[in-house]
Amino acid sequence: MLSNRRTGLSLIIASAIIGIITISLDSLPEMAIVPLLAISSIGFVSGVVLLNYKAKHSKRDRSKFKRTNTKSWDS
């Protein structure tokens, strides 16, 4: 099973390759270029989100955050 970090990295690499191929090929019709670039950009953004999600929500860092008692006993 792939972790979020590996999945995000592979999405970024794949979307970059698709974007470069789309821009460099002159034989593609103009109606096909815009959807391919849109798919590539969505993959790129979701890859960045997955990379940051793994960094912010790792199990190792959860122990640093302690719950505080928010109940007020002064009433």
Whether residue 73 lies inside any domain: the answer is: no
Amino acid 16: pLDDT: 93
Domain membership of residue 48 as a residue range: 4-56
Asked if residue 68 lies in contact with residue 33, where contact means CB atoms within 8 angstroms, the answer is no
pLDDT class for 45, splitting at 50, 70, 90? very high
pLDDT at 61 over 90: no
Whether residue 74 lies inside any domain: the answer is: no
Whether residue 75 lies inside any domain: the answer is: no
Number of domains in the chain: 1
| Mean pLDDT within 22-51 | 88
pLDDT at 17 over 90: yes
The secondary structure of 41-64 as a DSSP string is HHHHHHHHHHHHHHHHS-TTGGGG
Whether residue 27 lies inside any domain: the answer is: yes
pTM above 0.85, yes or no: no
